[in-house]
Structure 1
Amino acid sequence: MAVNPHQQLAARAAPPTHLPWLDGLRGIAALWVLLHHTFILVGGRGMPILSWGKLAVDLFMILSGFLMAHHYLLRRVSRPWEDAATWRDFWARRWFRISPLYFVLLTAALLLGPFIGTQRDLIAQVWPATATAAARYNDSSWTNVLMHVSYLFGAFPNYAFRTALPDWSIGLEMQFYLAFPFLMLAMHWFGALRAGAVLIAVCLGLRWAFPDFFRSFPMPSFLPLKLYVFIIGIWMALALAATSPRKYLLASVSVSVLYVGLERSTEAVGRVFVVLALFYMVLRSASAIRNRIAAMLSSRLARFMGDTSYGLYLLHLLIVIPVAGCLSTVPQFLALHLAVRLVLCAVIVAAPSYLGAWVLYRLVETRGIAWGKRLLASPRVTAAASISG
């Protein structure tokens, strides 16, 4: 008799409830993005790691897929996806986690857009290869505002990269949150590896069938372009709870290698090593080297970097672009070696960027999370959940 994949998943041992080293990884990813943009804005290009900003965002996506699936495994008995209230609570929690801080900084980006665009033009005058379209900074139309407030912008090439924020990945993240319950149900019904492989194949088929549409995205903000990265994160969480995790490792590495062949970039090669390193951290809990790394990623500094990672990611361009724009008008700065320009600009922007991210975390981000918890705990919502259940 065939075994139900859902029963197989439920029979596995519960994974660890908390992995504090993930906070440090989120902090590293946010710092990586900041250094990547600073590197570009002081005239740098073509250097491995510093030029791989999208790989830093991929790290965020893998961690997002991992954490969503990991938390599901912890709650799979008390909050099954077959219950509509689980879906509602999941989406509400994620909306209140992302939206309050995003809307604050989106407002700032729209108001400051012309000024940021002017500073960006100063940089492009010195390093023309770094130029971006003026519409990214100057479009304060209601259409653009509504596209971003509704999170629809990521699915439309003309709006996917149209604010001073690096928010293309926020639209992508919200698409993943919308799809996540369906992904988990598909993995329950058909098996995690089979369902994931079919979905990745469908995404590749869509790219083959509509190449012009997918190439028109200035950034990979549409979920079919990056679903495979989130699925790798989900497989990683399932590996942590599995009795035989090797199949998830092999599947994830195979998908990563497949995309090396499709993209043919050093960044894609770097993604393979990121996937291997993350599986090592997840699965090799008995390794002394792994545990030393986990301890460093769980330190007080790492927790601070993790807490401020979302705010730093969204905020930093509003600081880095004006600073780099001002520096680009100083002949003495331009005469410096690229490495010195990078360090000098990064040192100048680091303090206000982290301070601003910390203030936003305390005043906006944590309050938004608390608002969501209070809403879900309110008697009216609780009663509605009881009726629907």
Structure 2
Amino acid sequence: MSKQTYTPAGTQDHLPWLDGLRGIAALWVLASHVQILTGLRNIPVLSWGGVAVDLFMLLSGFLMAHNYFLRQRSEPWESPRTFFLFWLRRFFRIAPLYYVLLIVAFSVGALLAQDRMTIAALWPSTASPLQRYLDGSAANYLTHLSFLFGLMPDYAFRTPLPDWSIGLEMQFYLVFPFIMLALARLGPLLTTLAVLAVCVVARLCFPEYFQRFEMPAFIAMKLYVFMAGIWIAVARKQKSMTLSMLAGLGIMLVWALADRTFHVWEPRAMTVGRLLIVAAMFYLMNNGTLPGSMLLQKPTAFLRAWLSGRVARFLGDTSYCAYLLHLLIVLPVAGALARNAQYIAMPAALRFLLALALILPPVYLLSWGLFHTVEKFGIHMGRVLVRKLSRGTPRGAALPGESGAGDKAAHGIPR
């Protein structure tokens, strides 16, 4: 183990353990969906797929702000050109793989609907709107190809993919430069209060609009999680991370109370789970200034090393594809099993384990292949376009998204 257990704040470009953490979160979402579709419900932690998606958003908020702080001198946000290049790179990082899997999802939607009906007939509480699988309208295609679906309640949850969170991520990319400009001018506290106030006012002014969303696909419903992640990056720039951790936890608590005010109910355990992942992220990124740092020094070093290992790196590399792809495998496998009487007679835990064993190999094999073909191709195309449009950048200056951190971990939703 290295003598220096904690990474100095703001000095390390790529943080490899976050790749592994993102991979674990993608596997968490997959396992959560498998347990639902095999009739195994309400298992603590395993069933909290929503908390796993929040972990992606927390990572995204941190990583985007962390990269910004590393490059803020060479890439001033005061320049509209920086905005454009930033958005261009983010588009090519997300869109190519998404478009490929979106076409597949639309093509097999009717078949997936049959599997979904078979599963719902056995376990009615797992039912999902069939229109999600059967809507082949031009409007549905256009809203998803343009990433506008997250703004439209009728289309935000209208494909077989779990892409509502991808649309949410794209919305975050859209507002992120403005948040960082505000942070530079107003400071993190005033910026956070202003962002939360805008989100609350929007919910107060348009309650029916928010209530129509089946999933929290609109940025005002989840921006608080991204802001908590930004506070982790802010903390690493400061001499002490303690106040920033209290701010991050405070954001999560305030929004949990706001959700209840707006009649958004969820198990209290999930609220506690969100607080725990925020606290855990602060300690994982600890620079040695959080309470109990000396006591947690060895566990933190061990966790970082494990999350930087070969298996975790594989999960991180394949995480974006595994996240997007998995339901295209989970539904046919779970549907086929649900037609077998012997499988139905099994205890719920055994059904879950059998389905998981059948699902994991094809999901990760296909994800590995798509990562090395479609996903890497998209990354390359984004770099090429950014470089062509940045020919006027002084030699030696970093291009938007061209640092190691931008290459390896520029967003939290699975790569």
If the length of structure 2 is used for normalisation, what is the TM-score? 0.87
Q: CA deviation at 1:197?
A: 1.9
Structure 2 counterpart of 1:178, which letter?
L
CA offset at residue 264 of structure 1? Answer: 5.3
Tell me if structure 1 keeps the 8 A contact 2:318–2:368.
Answer: yes
Counterpart residue identity of residue 329, structure 1: R
In structure 2, which of residues 56, 75, 87 is the aligned counterpart of residue 79 of structure 1? 75
Match of 2:253 among 257, 263, 284: 257
What residue number does 2:204 align with?
Answer: 208
2:147 and 2:87 map into 1 onto residues whose CA distance is 13
In structure 2, the partner of 1:153 is 149
* Equivalence for 1:217: 213
Q: Report the CA distance between 1:14 and its aligned residue.
A: 3.6
CA distance in 2, matches of 1:15, 1:73: 10
Rounded Cα–Cα distance in structure 2 between residues aligned with 1:164 and 1:385? 42
Counterpart of 2:313 in structure 1 is 303
Aligned equivalent of 1:90, options 83, 86, 91:
86
Aligned-partner Cα distance in 1 for 2:44–2:201: 30
- Alignment of 1:245 with 2:241, yes or no, is yes
- How far residue 30 of structure 1 moved from its aligned partner, in angstroms, is 0.3
**1:131 to partner: Cα distance:** 0.9
Q: One-letter code of the match for 1:177?
A: Y
The correspondence of residues 30-41 of structure 1 with structure 2, limited to 5 A, is 30-41=26-37
- Superposition deviation, residue 385 in structure 1: 6.8
2:28 maps to 1:18: no
- CA offset at residue 134 of structure 1? 1.2
Question: Could you say if the C-alpha distance between residues 343 and 284 of structure 1 is closer, same or farther in structure 2, counting changes exceeding 3 Å?
Answer: farther
Give runs of aligned pairs for residues 44-63 of structure 1, distance below 5 A: 44-63=40-59
Where do 1:160-175 residues align within 5 Å? 160-175=156-171
In 2: Cα distance, 1:139 partner to 1:67 partner: 35
1:382 matched to 2:359? The reply is no
- Residue aligning to 1:103: 99
- 2:330 aligns with 320
Structure 1: 5+ residue stretches without partners: 1-11
5+ residue gaps, structure 2, are: 1-7, 289-293, 395-415
Please name the residue that 2:354 is paired with.
344
Q: Distance in 1 between matches of 2:214 and 2:309?
A: 37
CA distance in 2, matches of 1:78, 1:353: 40
Q: Is the 8 A contact 2:29 2:52 kept in 1?
A: yes
**Match of 1:197?**
193
**In the alignment, is the contact (CA less than 8 A) between 1:117 and 1:138 conserved in 2?**
yes
Kindly indicate whether the alpha-carbon contact (under 8 Å) linking 1:259 and 1:268 is maintained by their aligned counterparts in 2: no
Give the C-alpha shift of residue 284 in structure 1: 4.7
Q: Which has the higher contact order (CA 8 A, sep 6+)?
A: 2
CA deviations on 1:101-152 (whole Å, 9 max, x unpaired) are 0000000000011011111111011111111111100111111000000000
CA distance in 1, matches of 2:310, 2:182: 39
Q: What are the superposed Cα offsets for residues 180-199 of structure 1, whole Å, 9 maximum, x if unpaired?
A: 10010011111112111221
**1:177, 1:225 → 2: CA distance?**
15
* Mean Cα deviation higher: 265-274 or 214-223: 265-274
1:290 counterpart = 2:300: yes
The reply to whether residue 361 of structure 1 matches residue 371 of structure 2 is yes
CA distance in 2, matches of 1:31, 1:264: 22
Structure 1 equivalent of residue 275 of structure 2: 272
- What's the C-alpha RMSD, in Å, of the aligned pairs? 1.5
Q: Which moved more, 1:132-141 or 1:41-50?
A: 41-50
Which segment drifts farther, 81-90 or 204-213? Answer: 204-213
Any idea what the Cα deviations from partners look like across 1:235-288, whole Å, max 9, x if unmatched?
Answer: 111111212322211111111122333355221211000100000111155611
Q: Which amino acid aligns with 2:309?
A: S
Q: Conserved in 2, the CA contact under 8 Å of 1:193 and 1:248?
A: no
Q: Give 1:86 shift.
A: 1.6
More divergent stretch after superposition (144-153 vs 253-262) = 253-262
Q: Equivalent residue for 1:7? A: none
Alignment: residue pair count: 373
- Partner residue of 1:9? none
CA distance in structure 1 between the partners assigned to 2:242 and 2:97 by the alignment: 39
Match of 1:3 in 2: none
SS of structure 2 residue aligned to 1:283: coil
Give distance in 2, aligned partners of 1:16 and 1:385.
24
**How many Å separate the matches in 2 of 1:206 and 1:44?**
37
Q: Distance in 2 between matches of 1:226 and 1:136?
A: 22
Task: Give the Å deviation of 1:70.
Answer: 0.6
**Structure 1 SS opposite 2:285:** helix
Instruction: Tell me if the contact between 1:85 and 1:385 (Cα under 8 Å) persists in the aligned partners.
Output: no
- Secondary structure of the residue aligned to 2:160 is coil
Letter in 2 for 1:271: R
**Shift in Å at residue 376 of structure 1?**
1.4
Farther off after superposition, 361-370 or 277-286: 277-286
Does structure 2 retain, via aligned residues, the 8 Å contact 1:151–1:171?
yes
Percent identity over paired residues: 49
- 2:401 aligned partner: none
Equivalent residue for 1:65? 61
Cα distance in 2, alignment partners of residues 382 and 19 from structure 1? 26
Give yes or no for contact 1:15–1:241 (8 Å, CA) kept in 2: no
Q: 1:6: which partner in 2?
A: none
| Normalised TM-score (structure 1) | 0.93
